[in-house]
Structure 1
Amino acid sequence: MDIASDAPQSRYFQSQGLKLHFTDWGNASAPPLLLVHGGLDHSRSWDYLAQALAADFHVVAPDLRGHGDSGWATGSSYSLADHVYDLTSLAKSEGFEKVAIVGHSMGGMVSLTYAGAFPERVSKLVVLDGVTNFPARRPKPADVRISDWAGDLDKLAQRKIHRYPTIADGAERIIGRNPRLTRAQAMHLATHGMKRNEDGSFSWKYDPYLRARAPYRLSLEDNIGLWSRIACPTLLVAASESFLPDPEKAGVMSHFKHAELAKIAGAGHWLQHDKPDEVLGLIQKFLADVQ
């Protein structure tokens, strides 16, 4: 897998008073395609897929609030609804009436929620290992969720930001989380995912408070209700070696009107990095007739 040197355009929009960043691959006359990254990730994680898809689509990849080069939401718990609102702001700022969406992990849940809340605004939806709420999963009681959240915030307030001597050290940390990555892939992710500190060291760009899970998240019933409202063709892509359950075995598929499931063998949760060409082929075939 090679990532070309042609750099996309770095752009910004406003949402809830925040200055949010997105990466724009051009081809503005083509149908718009949003690529929505997962938690603690960033928009340039999509570069390999974006370069290939930009021939047929106006590819736009936002940095979700608190991620990448987007602003941090002081005092926010970064709820799913906040991220969904930011997508509506991005679509409005760019004049996108209807978009195709590819979302990974948490970005998949954001994309599913957006498509369920605004079904008329999505032409097609691809979710890469991104269904994280299942019929068999039962949430903790509200008092426990709030107590856990408060404790997490206290711990994060005392936590020192980790500093790495070089970007290469950050790349090693990424490989430690996903050994399937090549060194070139890890360096690309670290280069765009890290910032230089005043002392010359490097730290991750994302807001550490993203690690505190909001206690007021959507219920399973809320999610099922949203999934059932999705009107566009939907492709759920599962990875054979992911830590997430298979959507079919977990009883997810029956809650969609127009969903199909594809499975990628030999891939973990970051399947677009583990099997990039296979994932790209699935996406291109599924989105082939988007107007």
Structure 2
Amino acid sequence: MSSVSPVARTRPAGEPRLDFVTCASPAGLHRMAYWEWGDPDNDRVLLCVHGLTRTGRDFDPLACALDREYRVVCPDVVGRGRSDWLIDPNGYVIPQYVADMLTLLARLRPARLDWVGTSMGGLIGLGLAGMATMSPALRPARGPGGLGAVADVPLGRMVFNDIGPALDASGLARIGAYVGQALRFDRFEQAVDYVRTVSAGFGPHDPAGWRALTEHVFVEQNGQWIKHYDLRLAQPFALQTPEATTAAEALLWQAWDHLPVPSLILRGAQSDILTQDAARRMTERNPRARLVEFDGVGHAPTLRTDAQIAAVRDFLLAP
């Protein structure tokens, strides 16, 4: 059964539908927005989850390339885009995001779920899949094609875009330096220049591409352009200690080693988040994984170029 509202069904052709799901945190309730492409009655779902300060609209080109095969769902993780902000900023952590995705999946009720996660979105996916290794009640159910089920969610294939269990300290420090900066620009073009500067790792894009990468992460307010996310995201990010990072990595490696589904690792060849050594170890420790690298790109591939979209599409739709 479709859970898309009648209003959402009336979106113009070529544009995603916007809907919301109510999620819970220890501080109360919040709404998470999600953008949806393709047939709302298709029970083959592709969930695409963005990076730390981005939104679900990052996946527009990928969604357009796959919306005939999938119901493509691209949430704005809480605190970003059209989603609510949390009352307590300490909730901006992976466990909360995993809980929100489970709430969304309970609404979508996919017969099969494939996953594309960029950076933070990959960690959320790994956390979701890792629940199968943490609790006997959530162990993956084996079936045709090696599918696993996490909390009654039938996982198919997973794409990890420039992220893995090993978290590079220097790359995290680079991101942490700008996440909480309060910026205001008088013109949208200034916001575009800013995004081009701090996101140079996205690789080369034409002017239209940079504008598209800016228009959903900056919003106009009182004649100025400001970041379209809760700046308090930086608070739990800044509180990470080396000990906490080490403990998190241990849990992530455990989840990765037991990931029960085929996975594709995408890596920007100049990435400062997913090192070449970490990517190599990922393929060695999980024989279901394979690696594709993109030259001239750092953190992270935007999945907007023909080559990057083809890599994802070929992996997801392969027999």
Does 1:46 find its partner at 2:59?
yes
Q: Distance in 1 between matches of 2:277 and 2:296?
A: 17
Give the C-alpha shift of residue 200 in structure 1: 1.3
Under a length normalisation based on structure 1, what TM-score does the superposition of the two structures give? 0.83
Does 1:102 find its partner at 2:135?
no
Partner secondary structure for residue 193 of structure 2:
helix
What's the RMSD between the two structures over aligned residues?
A: 2.6
What corresponds to 2:184 in structure 1?
Answer: 163
Q: Distance in 2 between matches of 1:171 and 1:269?
A: 18
Deviations 1:68-98 (A, max 9, x none): 1111112132111111111101101222254
Q: Among residues 164, 183, 188, which one is paired with 1:131 in the alignment?
A: 164
Partner secondary structure for residue 112 of structure 1:
helix
Q: Is the 8 A contact 2:23 2:30 kept in 1?
A: yes
What corresponds to 1:145 in structure 2?
Answer: none
Does 1:209 find its partner at 2:232?
yes
Q: Among residues 223, 232, 238, which one is paired with 2:261 in the alignment?
A: 232
What corresponds to 2:217 in structure 1?
Answer: 193
What corresponds to 2:290 in structure 1?
Answer: 260
Partner secondary structure for residue 185 of structure 2:
coil
Cα 1:51/1:249, change in 2 over 3 Å: closer
Cα 1:257/1:9, change in 2 over 3 Å: same
Residue type of the alignment partner of 1:188: A
Q: Distance in 2 between matches of 1:116 and 1:246?
A: 23
Q: Is the 8 A contact 1:131 1:247 kept in 2?
A: no
Residue type of the alignment partner of 2:60: D
Does 1:184 find its partner at 2:214?
no
Q: Distance in 2 between matches of 1:234 and 1:38?
A: 18
Unaligned runs of 5+ in 2: 1-12, 133-147, 170-175
Residue type of the alignment partner of 2:163: G
Q: Among residues 75, 79, 85, which one is paired with 1:72 in the alignment?
A: 85
Give the C-alpha shift of residue 251 in structure 1: 2.4
Dislocated runs of 4+, deviation >3 Å: 214-218, 247-250
Q: Is the 8 A contact 1:91 1:97 kept in 2?
A: no
Partner secondary structure for residue 272 of structure 1:
coil
Cα 1:161/1:177, change in 2 over 3 Å: closer
What corresponds to 1:173 in structure 2?
Answer: 194
Cα 1:238/1:161, change in 2 over 3 Å: closer
Partner secondary structure for residue 72 of structure 1:
coil
Q: Distance in 2 between matches of 1:105 and 1:132?
A: 11
Q: Distance in 2 between matches of 1:247 and 1:66?
A: 32
Does 1:91 find its partner at 2:105?
yes
What corresponds to 1:283 in structure 2?
Answer: 312
Give the C-alpha shift of residue 177 in structure 1: 2.3
Unaligned runs of 5+ in 1: 139-151
What corresponds to 2:131 in structure 1?
Answer: 117
Larger displacement relative to structure 2 (114-123 or 169-178): 114-123
Under a length normalisation based on structure 2, what TM-score does the superposition of the two structures give? 0.76
Partner secondary structure for residue 161 of structure 1:
coil
Aligned length: 266
Partner secondary structure for residue 279 of structure 1:
helix
